[in-house]
Chain A
Amino acid sequence: MKVKNKTFLLARTLIKNGEGLGIKGSSTFAKVSVILVFAIMIPMFMAGIAYLVTSLLGVLVQIGQEGIILSWGIAINSAIVFLFGIFYVVSTFYFSSDVEFLLPMPLKPRQILGAKFLVVTIYEYFTTAISFLPVWITYGIYMGCGLLYYIYGLVVFLLMPITPLAAASLIIMVIMRFTNLSKHKDAVKVLGGMVGVFFGVGLNLVIQNVMGSMSQEQIMELVQKGNNSLMILTSGVFPTARWGAEALINYSQLSGLFSFLLYAGFSLLIYFALLWLGQLIYLPGVVGLSETGSRRTKVNKQALEKTTVKGSVVRTYTLVELRLLFRTPIYFINCVSINFLWPVFLVFPLLFQSQQLNQIQQISEMLNRPESQGMVLAGSFALALFMGATNGTTSTSISREGQELFVKKYLPISYRQQLTAKVLSGFVLGLVSILIMVLFAVFIFKLSFWMGLLILAAAWLPVLLTCLTGLLIDLHNPKLDWDSEQKAVKQNVNLLYNMLAAVIPGVLTFVVLAFSPNLLVTFIALTALYGLLCYIMARLLYTKGVKRFIQLEI
């Protein structure tokens, strides 16, 4: 009983120590606007799902396949939990600064792990509530289900994150156990995290492949069978997903109770199995994670002279920004790796699915059609805008300074130069993603070399724009009061604001696209549009932004 108490007690403290929406300490305006955004967007999203479910049910009921809504609902949510879980687990189990305080306490590894697992489970509820509740409730109302359906459903909802999260935890724990050996802890942390992410994405692709390998005829046969036979399609991912769905569909029968017990029992079993395993491998992976190796070697004169050559202020400042981004694991994962991951996320699924090869061919043909060249350029602007806006380098660049911001105040260089360097650090990283995008387009989709060059020459504008807006937003609402680096980037709502800000140029790009102009007109229209927007934002940054930087005090 005592064991249980400590786990729950710890979990409660960890949650209280968390930051919620990350708006604590922000101005009232910022708080109100965040709450408004969430209060409008979340119900809209949920209503959208409910509407979709209702219209799908109308069709599915006629062919006796309505159960697929629930099994897909649970399976998709499990997959979401798994993908988010990989990131959550890396940062909560291993990168979080509280680990250092917990290790000296008289706690068993499974208590720390159990508490952290519960914390992540609760974080996941925020996501699954938005995407699962409308499915569950709409189905219940549409099918006129009884009270037992809702009771089962609540338990299914509460236990849903356990299996996928345990799978994510297991992958990460094994990786961290065997990588926490090197002297270069920071680099290993990043590598471990990245391998975990890639493993997760890879696993997802394999699953897609398995499901995709079923032929059209086999699927049609399943559809004709009726009686929710299509549900078998989703069982490959997480076995619990199917049991959960069966429990809900057959809630009024004994088989429903059986599925329900199987679902609940299996989930709990997984949880305790994970704790048992964690007792063995969690601590060796986490102890000494924050140590730093040192060489203690005398620098010879030549080496010293090589590393201490005078450089320009902006160049040196930008390089330091980049060094810190690359060397701080949580910054690397959130700000740097995202630049390389987007192109990979977008293109790899196409590469790894055999039947998609002709899709590549189709895309290639479309990209090279003379009449679609304008569209291709506009599309590359939209993609560059998207990749720029989802990259948090500049939208967290003031926040990342935290309590060290005062250093930037006593340096004898102008605020204008400092802001320029901050924009540059984000811009350089953004350019890498454009370059990868163009390389993929040229080598995989056989885009013409000249078109690739043209995209490179023009699509840096949207990236620059998002860097400028990101920094302006972070200057006005920086999150400086944090005690662990992950709070500066992960729980920073400025990234979301920057994505929202990007909607405006995004819409304008589609307006240009709607007129389906030729390449020359598109080029002129978009470079003029983005050039003007960049000019306005740069002016704002160098006037209002500088003023704001002067006002910021720690």
Chain B
Amino acid sequence: MIELMNVTKTYGSTIKAVDNLSLVIPDGEIFGFLGPNGAGKTTTIKLIAGILNADSGSIRVNGKDLREHALEVKKQIGFVPDTPNMFLRLKGIEYLNFMADMYDVSTEDRQERIQSLAARFGMADVLQDRIQSYSHGMRQKIILIGVLVHNPSVWILDEPMTGLDPRSSFLLKEMMREHADSGNTVFFSTHVLDVAEKVCDRVAIINKGQLLFCGSMEEMKDHFKKNASLENMFLELTESESEE
């Protein structure tokens, strides 16, 4: 479960990237975070993951306050950033082992998970190679495996489908469903409405740091019919979707 209460984040002293945002994402739910480029999606995600410090408001994960119990909260989160270009000079297996050590995963657990996840994502043959030699999609997959190796209860994924091949994309969506169905939380950002429609239980739309809508996909469509500004947003979102 993720709870955001009146969270505000300002860059410099004027630009409010996130403006008084409140959200509750209960267990067992896949939650989609929508918005055009520069809306504040990544900033919100970075705030929940503990990468950025909020100016005001509070963030709780599984009932624990992020500020007070930072390390405990971080251990429950699996975070996939929007760029997979990191630790390029490590071998795939070295990266996974590094993540497992950071998240305090036992030898038996990590070996079992690395083998099964690598096999599922078709990465077993490249684990001894440096990440530098991977394609964009493979880098995305190694990051995903690294995140899942500690079996976190809360998944936070920033544009996770970008660069994945259809098979891996399908697999990830399937895993997200499984994860949520077994009582965990999945929070992910996207600007592809189609993905949100197929996967999410609920969505929120954010623009210029402010929450414009939060509810189910059906409710969202109803809402668009009544609210002109939201309809524009919808158009903007679908436009960016068709551009991709």
A: which residues have CB within 8 A of B?
186, 292-299, 301, 304-305, 307-313, 316-317, 320, 323-324, 327-328, 404, 406-407, 409-414, 550-551, 553-554
Contacts and interface: CB of A to CB of B under 8 A. Distances in A.
A290 B160 CA distance: 27
A305 B114 CA distance: 10
B86 A407 contact: yes
B179 interface: no
A310 B51 contact: no
B132 interface: yes
What are the 8 A-B residue pairs with the smallest beta carbon separation, nearest first? A412-B74, A294-B133, A316-B101, A294-B129, A412-B75, A409-B51, A292-B133, A327-B89
Interface residues of B, number: 43
Contacts of A309: 107
Given A313-B104, A409-B51, A410-B49, 14 more contacts: A292-B130, A293-B133, A294-B133, A296-B126, A305-B111, A308-B107, A310-B107, A406-B51, A410-B79, A411-B74, A411-B102, A412-B74, A413-B102, A553-B53
Contacts of B213: none
Nearest to A413: B102
Given A305-B111, A308-B111, A409-B51, A320 B94 contact: yes
B100 to A, nearest CB: 7
Contacts of A307: 93-94, 97
Contacts of B105: 310
B30 interface: no
B243 to A, nearest CB: 25
B40 interface: no
B129 A310 contact: no
Contacts of B81: 406-407
Name the prevailing secondary structure of the B interface residues: helix
Contact of B129 (A296, A305, A409): A296
Interface string B92-134: 0110111011111111001100110000000011111110110
B52 interface: yes
A377 B127 CA distance: 49
Contacts of B111: 304-305, 308
B129 A295 contact: yes
Nearest to B130: A292
A310 B110 contact: yes
Contact of B46 (A297, A327, A406): A406
A304 B46 CA distance: 33
Contact of A299 (B77, B127, B130): B127
- Specify which of B51, B79, B107 lies most central, judged by the most chain A CB atoms within 10 Å of its CB: B51
A311 B107 CA distance: 9
A380 B101 CA distance: 38
Given A407-B86, A550-B53, A304 B114 contact: yes
Interface in B122-172: 124-130, 132-133
A310 B97 CA distance: 8
